[in-house]
Chains A and B, each alone.
Chain A
Amino acid sequence: MKYIFTLMLFSIVVHSSAQQFQMELDSLIKKIDSSTVANQETIDLRNQYIKQALFANPSDTTLLTFSKKTVDLATDLRYWKGLLVGYERVALVYQYSFSNPYKALEYYHKALGLMEKDKDLQTLGWSIYGGIGTLYYEQEEYGKALEQFKKVLHNDKNLELTATANIANIFGSLNQLDSAIYYYKKALNLEQVTNNPTYKANLYSNLSLIYSQADQLDAALASAENSIGLIEQYGIEFVRPTAYANASMAYLGNKDYVNAELYANEALQLSEAQGNVFLQKSAWGTLADVYSAKGEFSKALEAYTKFSVLKDSLNNQNRRVEINRSQLEFEFEKERTIAQAEIDRQSTIKTASLLGGGGLLAASVLGFVLYKRRRDVLEQKKDAEFRVLVADTELKALRAQMNPHFIFNALNSIGDYILKNNNETALEYLTKFAKLMRMVLENSENKSIPLEEDLKFLELYLQVEAKRQPGKFSYHIQVDEALEVENTLVPPLLLQPFIENSIWHGFRDRDGMGQIQITINENQDMLICSIEDNGRGIEHTANGNESKKSFGVAITENRLKILNKQKNKEGRLQVIDLGEQKGTRVEISLPLEHLF
């Protein structure tokens, strides 16, 4: 996933300081072209060019050929320092342009191998360890990455700042916020940072994000303001979009919706200008939060929609990278063992500074990773909450439909009873149904009710219906003794429509006593409910038509579908025709749920 916005990070550099970069690149290429014969100077120039060009355009795959050519030239010249740097450049190209950690590691190892042979080169070595550390980081091997950066930190004063910043980022990724804050502060106190406003602005921006995560809202805001202050003062375009996005979140946390909206919009414009989809998505996400906090829900919805569209398109890309990653993993593991052995052999190597710019780059990349991860978690949470809300609403609507359904069928029963009986008993019958309706209304308020309650309801319902047509049917409810009925939860009114079907349709025109058998059992984390009647069978009711589903049954099927999706379990509804005049069996299986 991170590769996607690693590339985007490069694109920020291109657009924000394109002119400056292009000028430097042009002058470099001119110098390289002017020397007809390769010498040490051209190799140094070529190496410098690769680094700059990599910043400028990471998707430029010609850089690989160019850097490999540089390695060949350096080998021919037996210019070992140039070769070492060349190897490292090839590794960087593989790492950032091709997202190929395996190849990157191979070239880092070549560089390390060279160092082993030539003691003079060892001073250059620590930046390579830093590079390997970033590789581990990208593989989410935080422990190993930390080991590398700590080694760099202890051995190379020149790389102290880069190493400290990277360590801070790792702790951020590990969600060890206190440690992350400690290292960011440490980095900010280093002397190297005093005359490097770019680095300083970047550190403050990342620190602001961590403070936001840690809910230290004041500190988050202070850091964001520090970062933006530096950006404005020095015109640091490199950090601007991320810093704005982070600042927006800090303002949002502080309920300063005006500034939150302002900076989110700024971040959005910058990232749109740069075609940076990742940042655009983040900005829309923050804007959605801002609008909903302000109560501007239609705007919030619009922002959220844009956010979702961008997210989906990013996820598709990410998936591709993930597949690539898993293919590489196996080989990478193999290589890493060798690397580890090699790294362990290196015990005393002195200072060198080579990758100052590269280090800054790595730190920023990691800052981005951090930012993205935070947004991803928030997104997933929001997404999940939204889905739950939709499903709950649908279920509630369906339960609500059960009420009129039940009430009108009840009125039918009551009417039927009044026709057949005297006033006195009709009144008695009516009050029983009033009681049932009360239960339906109360139960349908809840997502789930104890089985005990639902059984009480079914029992009363069956009693009342049996009274309406004496001698027409009898019923029996059998509950597994192992079931704790008061502690088992079921969706309310799930079985009633099927029982109603049996009574109204199953036994119509049937001679002799009908039977309804209701059985409730527990079987391996599932609750199995079955309703069996000895009526004329579902295929043979309703004028022999293709069994027309009753409204209640149709609703119940929909409810089960949503419940299955929500619980991620296989609940099932089966209607089995036992044959003409033999009856129907309905089986519902539900994931077993307990109250306590």
Chain B
Amino acid sequence: MKIAIVDDEQHCINHLANLLKPHSADMQLFIFENADDAIIGLEKTRPDIVFLDVQLHDKTGFDVLSSVSKRDFSLIFTTAYETYAIEAFKFSAIDYLLKPVDKDDFEMALQKATDKIEQTQLHDRVKVLLSHISTNNSPKRISVPSNDGYVFLLMEDIVRCQADVNYTHIFTTDGKKYTASKTLKHFEKLLEGDHFFRIHNSHLINLLYVNSYHKDGFTILKDGMKLEVSTRRKEAFIKLCGKL
């Protein structure tokens, strides 16, 4: 198995290499210390797993990704505290490790990567990732993990999300329903602030599709759906609706 580490700090490389040591039996390790080397090196070596640092001198791991044509590896980002990047990883459902990397977290990530779970539809997920990193106002997508791969949905097309124990049903403007293998809380954290609001334990809605609110504690969406607004969320809900 070929594993590549892209990082510009020696101690970080050492730390990762150290963590990889127990798995070194049938492993080939490649190390690239800057973005340009990485772009050429990744094309040439075609690794199975890539550990990619976000900050690489004056460039970023995203620059590397967008310049690499074949994205058929398992990708794991590494970062210390770049909040914007972490957000983007979550949106695109791309795995990441926080530095200093914790051993248990590392083992889990490596396991997923070896199982090639992380390879599924990576190309599309990277596109989602890059769209969130870019500063232009192009419509943003999210990667929705389901039992058989990923679905990529435009955020503005999502009308509402409904909790179903550990799953979440996502309803879109075209009347379709997608079932994601993540909790509603996951989507709440992801979409909160982008016109989305959790009105109830089981409901996260896109405020742009709210039609009306009724004093008896219900809101009606533009598609006619009537949903309960929990009393503790009422005040904040009305306030946010007023702001739109």
Hey, which bits of chain A sit against chain B, CB under 8 A?
Answer: 427-428, 430-432, 434-435, 438, 486-487, 594-596
Residue B172 at the chain A interface, CB threshold 8 Å: no
Question: Is B233 in contact with A431, judged by CB distance below 8 angstroms?
Answer: no
Choose from B18, B101, B232 the contact partner of A594 (Cβ within 8 Å). B232
Contacts of B105 in A (CB 8 A): 435
* Pairwise interchain contact B102-A432, C-beta atoms closer than 8 A: yes
**In the complex, what distance in Å separates the CA atom of A430 from the CA atom of B99?**
11
Bound complex: CA A151 to CA B215 (Å)? 37
Check: B230 CB closer than 8 A to any chain A CB. Answer: yes
Q: Counting chain B CB atoms within 10 Å of each CB, which of A427, A428, A486, A596 scores highest?
A: A596
Instruction: Give the distance in Å from the alpha carbon of A427 to the alpha carbon of B200 in the complex.
Output: 43
0 or 1 for each of B8-43: is its CB under 8 Å from A? (1 = yes): 000000010010000000000000000000000000
| Alpha-carbon gap, A431 to B185, bound state (A) | 26
Residue of B nearest to A424 (CB): B18
Contact of A596 with B230 in the complex, beta carbons under 8 Å: yes
Q: Which chain A residues border B102 with CB–CB below 8 Å?
A: 428, 431-432, 434-435
Contact A438–B98 (Cβ < 8 Å): yes
B99 nearest CB neighbor, chain A only: A434
Task: Chain A residues near B200: list those with CB within 8 A.
Answer: 596
A-B pair count, CB < 8 Å, reads 30
B201 within 8 A of A: yes
Complex: A487 Cα to B102 Cα, angstroms: 29
Docked pose: A160 CA to B102 CA in angstroms: 84
A264 to chain B, nearest CB (A): 29
B100 interface residue per 8 A CB criterion: yes
Chain B contacts with A in 81-120, Cβ cutoff 8 A: 98-103, 105
User: How far apart are B132's CB and chain A's nearest CB, in angstroms?
Assistant: 20
Which residues of the partner chain B approach A438 to less than 8 Å between Cβ atoms? Answer: 98
Q: Do A431 and B230 touch (CB < 8 A)?
A: no
Q: How many B residues, CB 8 Å from partner?
A: 16
Contact of B201 among A434, A435, A596 (CB under 8 A): A596
| Neighbouring A residues of B233 by C-beta, 8 Å | 596
Closest to B203 in A: A596
In the complex, are the beta carbons of B100 and A596 less than 8 A apart? Answer: no
Complex: how many Å from CA A36 to CA B232? 77
**Which single member of B103, B198, B201, B232 contacts A431 (CB below 8 Å)?**
B103
A and B contact pairs by CB, cutoff 8 A, 15 listed: A427-B15, A427-B18, A427-B100, A431-B100, A431-B103, A435-B98, A435-B105, A486-B185, A487-B201, A595-B201, A595-B232, A596-B198, A596-B201, A596-B232, A596-B233
Q: Check B100–A430 contact: CB distance below 8 A.
A: yes
**Which 8 residue pairs are nearest across A and B when measured between Cβ atoms?**
A596-B201, A431-B102, A596-B230, A431-B100, A434-B100, A428-B103, A435-B102, A596-B232
Contact residues in B for A487 (Cβ distance below 8 Å): 201
Report B9 CB to chain A, min CB distance, Å: 16
- Give Cα A595 to B202, complex, Å: 12
With a cutoff of 8 Å between Cβ atoms, the chain B residues found around residue A595 in the complex are: 201, 232
Quick one: which of B213-244 are within 8 Å of A by CB?
A: 230, 232-233
Name A452's closest neighbour in chain B (CB-CB).
B185
A438 CB to nearest chain B CB (Å): 7
A432 to B101, CA, bound (A): 9
A434 — which chain B residues lie within 8 A by C-beta?
98-100, 102
